[in-house]
Amino acid sequence: MTQRPSSGARRPTLRDVARVAGVHPATASRALNAHTRDVVHADTVRRVEEAARALDYRPDQLARSLKTGRSGTIGVVLPDLTNPVFPPIVRGIEDGLVPAGYVPLIGNTDTDEEREQLVLDRLQGRQVDGIIVATAKRHHPRLLEIASAGVPVVLVNRVIDGNRLPSVSVNDASGILAVVDHLVGLGHRRIAHVAGPQDLSTGFGRYAGYRSGLESAGLDMDPDLVVFADSFSEAAGFRGATELLRRARPLSAIIAANDMLALGCLRALAGVGLSCPRDVSVVGFNDMPFVDRVSPALTTVRLPHYEVGTHAATLVLERIADPTGPVKALFLTPELVARDSTAPPPGLRRLGAGRTASTRRHSRVGAASTLPAEDAD
Amino acid sequence: MTQRPSSGARRPTLRDVARVAGVHPATASRALNAHTRDVVHADTVRRVEEAARALDYRPDQLARSLKTGRSGTIGVVLPDLTNPVFPPIVRGIEDGLVPAGYVPLIGNTDTDEEREQLVLDRLQGRQVDGIIVATAKRHHPRLLEIASAGVPVVLVNRVIDGNRLPSVSVNDASGILAVVDHLVGLGHRRIAHVAGPQDLSTGFGRYAGYRSGLESAGLDMDPDLVVFADSFSEAAGFRGATELLRRARPLSAIIAANDMLALGCLRALAGVGLSCPRDVSVVGFNDMPFVDRVSPALTTVRLPHYEVGTHAATLVLERIADPTGPVKALFLTPELVARDSTAPPPGLRRLGAGRTASTRRHSRVGAASTLPAEDAD
DNA sequence: CATCTCCTTGCAATCGTTGGCGGGGTAGAG
DNA sequence: CTCTACCCCGCCAACGATTGCAAGGAGATG
């Protein structure tokens, strides 16, 4: 008594194909399946294929999944898709997954614990064969739980403490180290840091990079030069930079823990009439689409977004194939991209002051969204 | 002989819950289902719920879908997710769908016919309950085919000729009309147009708006002032503007059919040493995230991305509920956002030349991607 | 010519859930 | 006390596909 949509005949099933081809459904199934095709006679295969084509038959993935136990879907958990770092990552994931017959199922958490639980519940309910997570916190029991229930979990961008889950990310500390070197090379000595949330590996690692960068440059750490942002958002960056300026210590450069924060810093500087890079240099992290188009074009640390996605896809597929294999943590090398937001500090502005070769590539066009995009990293 | 992932027990099924609760699986099903819960004794419901909680039972959506004929998924077909207009739309779609128990299944076509066919095949194979399409061309037989096979199809942003499918878009022509008014009000008379592909309703409608705008302003149409871009990409915008400048007619403003094209135009102007808006004004369309952050901040036509998404979700849900209802074509009103890329033409630059109140809102941070983002609209 | 073997195909069970149908038990009314 | 009615619940079948098992047939070999 299945009420089919009134319009037209119902979708053809495997039985229909079998009937037309004059064979048993099981035979039709085998004929259509690349893996089992060689068990059935070539002529029969042809007949079945013809019938399938004639009927415009499309196997029902749901039924297949139910039987095989594989849904062919991979959950992708993001803070917020409208944050510009994620689309390229998601594209990478999709492009890596689709050839293997999988499709991504995306869920946004808006950095809300509760919403994340709901998203994960939803994904598990839909029997995803694996989950790629961009919202991992350093301590994240639920993810470990899911993983130990047998569902492959792969982290992107962020890792969890202990590295017990496969992951694709960049070495945050070394990225920031390069930034400190760059700034010190330009002559900066009072370098501030708008740090990201410390419960995220990115915020934590970049702060660590900042400290060791200062140390190896022989600069000492002034607590007044560090503020902690509560999220990776432009608003938090604005607040952070404002606070730094309020403390009124001399300060010639700000390293923001990511591009969003950096944009907030730029806005804060402009708000009090300071010019970047003339008065204060600003550096971000991520090389999000479009930060090369804002003014001043942002000096930042480039992270290969798309490749992060494709690698994550590969990792999750590997893990599906062999759930007991070794846990791989893949670290891609970040790369400093010097643009126009960094320059020698005010005191040192003389002719030919050192400027590292700028690595301008990729010019892309993008634009901002309608929702608050928080918490990129 | 089902080979379960070695680690731990297999996922609990409804039968397990039923066994623990001491009832028949069917009863457990009814007890857990809000719709049928009232047929079951309250105590039994409680017992079943307890058992479900104890076992951490999660209904298998796949099995449910197979039985009920609804997959709970909606296909979303895009040109390219890394194009900044889409993330907000997708967020809108997701947010509109999830409360109703549906999830979006995203597919990118890269504006390639063949890939689009594959994406659609994939979606149909996964038994999506509806499809939201952002890649519609004015003539698009496959979509009509799918729709008449009983699958609700909703168009976003673009429509097809004849409006035979439900859609959410903006009135392209009236948006451009407002742009022409704005420019004419500033004193421009030689207004060029980098038109979008004419096989897309957006490109077509905006070109039409351009022509009627000139007409109602009493300006005559000079064919030399119009070039047709082959895609909605920055590269095409660059080529278009270059060509316009080569024709060397005097020209004081360029209306690009969308923001991507406009960014290409800006680049082309900069390339030949022309300043925007001093020498040439440039206008885009879409108000993509971030075009308020490039320099000069782009004057454009704002399109409520997120709302387009939520409305599309609503429309597709309506159509699932009543597939035979009337076909709704929803047109949201676009709104001119005057920023810094438009100013009076060179000849007219005098004090206090009229500048419409600028509608700066939303400042968002975004960034470009690693893939060529083509064909936004 | 008989028997063995291999290739091809059919049969039936199953994945986890839902929905129609009918039966047993209890309570209320006559 | 009996009949009717109603409430709950169990049984069976089915959604559409896959897969182990076994049987049928044809060809090869002794």
Summarize pLDDT for A310-343 with one digit per residue, the tens. 999 999 999 999 998 999 999 999 999 999 999 9
Instruction: Return d(Cα A30, Cα A41) in angstroms, integer.
Output: 10
What number of residues does chain B have? Answer: 377
Same domain, A38 and A123: no
Predicted local distance difference test score (pLDDT) of residue A347: 79
- Structural domain count of chain B: 2
**Does residue B7 sit within a domain?**
no
- For residue B37, give its domain range: 14-59
pLDDT band with cut points at 50, 70 and 90 for residue A374: low
The CATH number covering residue B18 comes to 1.10.260
Regarding whether A325 and A368 lie in a shared domain, the answer is: yes
Q: What is the CATH number of the domain that holds A307?
A: 3.40.50.2300
Q: Please answer whether residues A224 and A249 qualify as being in contact, where contact means their C-beta atoms are separated by less than 8 angstroms.
A: yes
Residue A323 in contact with partner chain B when CB distance is under 8 A = yes
Mean pLDDT score of chain A = 90
Look at residue A8 and tell me whether its pLDDT is greater than 50: no
Question: Would B329 be classed as within a structural domain?
Answer: yes
Q: Is residue A65 part of a domain?
A: no
Q: Which residues of chain B have pLDDT under 50?
A: 1-8, 351-372
Residue B10 CB in 7 A reach of strand C: yes
d(CA A271, CA A265): 10
For testing contact with chain A, the best of B285, B370, B371 (most A CBs within 10 A): B370
B103 at the A interface (CB within 8 A)?
yes
Do the domain assignments include residue A241?
yes
Q: Give yes or no: residues A23 and A82 share one domain.
A: no
Asked whether the beta carbons of B82 and A85 are under 8 A apart, the reply is no
CA distance B133 to B348: 45
Return d(Cα B326, Cα B335) in angstroms, integer.
28
Q: Are residues A161 and A95 in the same domain?
A: yes
Inspect the interface and report whether the beta carbons of B127 and A59 lie closer than 8 Å: no
The answer on A107 and A46 residing in a single domain is no
Q: What is the pLDDT of residue B350?
A: 52
Cis-peptide, bond into residue B141, ω within 30° of zero: no
- Tens-place pLDDT, residues A170-190: 999 999 999 999 999 999 999
Residue A168 and residue A149 in one domain? yes
Domain-terminating residue out of B59, B93, B112 = B59
Out of B59, B83, B113, a domain closes at: B59
**Residue type at A271?**
G
Phi-psi region of A150 (alpha: psi -120 to 50; beta: other; left: phi over 0): left
Outline where chain B has alpha helix (H): 14-21, 25-32, 42-55, 61-68, 86-97, 113-125, 141-148, 172-186, 201-216, 234-247, 259-271, 305-321
Are A38 and A155 found together in one domain?
no
Which residues lie below 8 Å from residue B270, measured CB to CB, with a gap of 6+? B276
Which nucleotides of chain D have an atom under 7 angstroms from any protein CB?
Answer: 7-20
- Cβ-Cβ contacts under 8 Å, B5 against chain A: 150, 323
Do B235 and B360 lie in one domain? The reply is yes
Residues A34 and A127 in one domain: no
* Cβ(B341)–Cβ(B297) below 8 Å: yes
B54 and B162, same domain (yes or no): no
**Partners of residue A255 on adjacent β-strands:** A193, A283
Q: Is residue B184 part of a domain?
A: yes
Quote the pTM value: 0.91
Q: Is the CB of A26 under 7 A from strand C?
A: yes
Please give the backbone phi and psi of residue B49, each rounded to the nearest 5 degrees, phi first: -60, -40
Same domain, A254 and A277: yes
Of A59, A92, A113, which residue is a domain's last? A59
Q: Is the dihedral of CA A37, A41, A46, A50 positive or negative?
A: negative
Closest CA to B368 of A78, A305, A203, A261: A305
Is the pLDDT score of A281 beyond 70? yes
Are A142 and A114 members of one domain? yes
pLDDT at A221 over 70: yes
pLDDT at site B9:
63
